[in-house]
């Protein structure tokens, strides 16, 4: 139980970078690969949906009849950018999925309610674009990693979302409020309650598949397992997969393996 941990212990319990010694090497590889891909991969980059640079999305089309996966990046709502994750796009395109990479404002420049609103506005902007370019709009399959999984789960009540996959997510914000993460995030008790998926029902009535690595921090694993149990107790549709040998970072690398379980799940969810 996180409530029994000291502040120092709680900080370590959620410090994924500290838990994975080569995490900086892994994330730098993501950034470098993504930078190169953005130079030649066919797509539309940084389409604005708001007034600031981070309120934008990239769109990579696999054809006008393809399902659309929307990816939301992690970084504890205060780090990283959609640009760092372009490396996941080519394998999904090869599977026949169009991909939107959705950016959003970060703390401390934006509070949690503003960050969630960015995701909602971004999805509506992508929908408008697709409707202009296609004869029909298929809806979105959401894919979120880490904090991105939290954001994806938080907007499932939108009519333009039909399924979601959460990878290594945070679904209860209260522990965040008492850890180093809150130094910039600045959650209060009311905000943490309002935006904790495990305490609300906005994600009900749509399938939500959850994945986490067996080598991840125990608190991260518990967040996923507890959220699955909550949904399952309410009769909600979705699966739980705990992937052997994967940590918080290598689990995302699975998306670039053609035979990976995650990529297979994304394809199946998007084509429902």
> What is this structure's pTM?
0.97
pLDDT of amino acid 1: 77
* H or E stretch at 142: strand 140-145
CB within 8 Å of 16: residues ≥ 6 apart? 23, 146, 216, 217, 220, 247, 248, 249
* pLDDT beneath 70, residues of the chain: none
pLDDT of amino acid 56: 98
- Report phi then psi at 238, rounded to 5: 160, 165
Fold of 2-270: Rossmann fold (3.40.50)
Domain boundaries, the chain: 2-270
pLDDT of amino acid 86: 98
What CA–CA distance (Å, rounded) separates 231 from 197? 10
pLDDT digits (tens, 9 = 90+) for 1-41: 788 999 999 999 999 999 999 999 999 999 999 999 999 99
């Amino acid at each position: 139980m996180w409530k029994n941990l000291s502040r120092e212990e709680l900080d370590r319990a959620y410090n994924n970078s500290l838990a994975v010694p080569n995490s900086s090497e892994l994330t730098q590889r993501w950034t470098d690969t993504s930078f190169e891909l953005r130079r030649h991969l066919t797509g539309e980059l940084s389409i604005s949906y708001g007034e600031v640079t981070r309120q934008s999305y990239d769109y990579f089309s696999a054809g006008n009849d393809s399902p659309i996966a929307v990816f939301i990046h992690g970084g504890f709502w205060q780090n990283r950018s959609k640009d760092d994750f372009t490396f996941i796009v080519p394998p999904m395109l090869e599977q026949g999925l169009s991909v939107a990479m959705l950016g959003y404002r970060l703390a401390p420049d934006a509070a949690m309610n503003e960050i969630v609103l960015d995701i909602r506005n971004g999805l509506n902007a992508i929908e408008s674009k697709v409707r202009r370019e296609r004869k029909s709009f298929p809806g979105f399959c959401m894919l979120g990693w880490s904090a991105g999984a939290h954001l994806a789960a938080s907007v499932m009540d939108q009519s333009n979302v039909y399924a979601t996959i959460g990878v290594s997510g945070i679904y209860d914000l209260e522990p965040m409020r008492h850890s180093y993460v809150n130094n910039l995030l600045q959650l209060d008790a009311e905000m943490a309650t309002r935006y904790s998926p495990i305490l609300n029902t906005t994600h009900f009535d749509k399938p939500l598949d959850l994945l986490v690595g067996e080598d991840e921090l125990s608190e991260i694993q518990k967040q996923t397992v507890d959220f699955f149990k909550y949904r399952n107790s309410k009769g909600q549709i979705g699966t739980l997969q705990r992937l052997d040998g994967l940590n918080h970072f290598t689990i995302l690398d699975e998306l670039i393996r053609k035979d990976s379980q995650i990529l297979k799940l994304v394809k199946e969810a998007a084509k429902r």
